[in-house]
Structure 1
Amino acid sequence: MHDISKRNGRTTFHGRLLAARIYELSAMQRLLMANHPDKKCVVIMWSEEKQALVSYTLEVERVLAVTQRQFPLELPAADYNNAFDDEFARRFGGATLNLLALSNPGLKPFVKFTPAEE
């Protein structure tokens, strides 16, 4: 259980911020647990203004319409023993953050993880 900071019976700024983060997390959990009959894509971007990673879910058709002339980076499941495991997720997340940081230099100071040993 998270302690929401209170002072003189009022929730402090830190407490409100923590409550907002908890609400965001529970909203994300509800989104992940919901039944989604339509196929979706996830688009992740860096917002310099908000200093935050921003994620959107979009219909596949909308993403394909925008990306049809782009060169895709495909990662076939067969190349990873038909399993996207913890190590794959760690490397994929790291690679994604590094790719975002290439065109968003403001993100680079936030990217701090240890590269995998080869």
Structure 2
Amino acid sequence: MASHTPYSVILTCAEDQQRFIVHAVDQTRIATVTAGQLEMPILLDSFDYRLDDEFARRLGVAMLNLIALGQPDVRQYIPVMQEPIDKPLQT
């Protein structure tokens, strides 16, 4: 597996092009752009340090909701369940 320097991921909705664009940007370059901007910490201990399917689903829903705040027309394409999905009891 290739090794990379630490990077941040930027998700952009290019509504006029009907697509999302994902960029991987060196963390040292992104620090100046994100200074003073909205920050939404996601505490891993709240998820028992499990980056499982439910974590990924909830992270994705949060990203889509945040994009829709700035681009309300996108909301019509987001029919996802906002609440966590109940997990079946393990026996």
**TM-score w.r.t. length of structure 1:** 0.64
Deviation per residue, 1:68-114 (Å, 9 max, x gap) = 22242111222211112111111110111011011112211211212
Letter in 1 for 2:32: A
SS in structure 2 at match of 1:58 = strand
Which of 91, 96, 105 in structure 1 is aligned with 2:58?
A: 91
Q: Is the counterpart of residue 105 in structure 1 residue 72 in structure 2?
A: yes
Gaps of 5+ in 2: 87-91
Hey, what's the Cα distance between the residues in 2 that align with 1:70 and 1:64? Answer: 10
Scaled by the length of structure 2, the TM-score of the pair is 0.80
Runs of 4+ with >4 A deviation: none
Instruction: Please say if 1:70 is aligned against 2:37.
Output: yes
Structure with larger Rg: 1
Question: Residue 56 of structure 1 aligns to a residue in which SS?
Answer: strand
The 2-side partners of 1:91 and 1:111 are apart by: 13
Q: Quote the RMSD (CA, aligned, Å).
A: 1.8
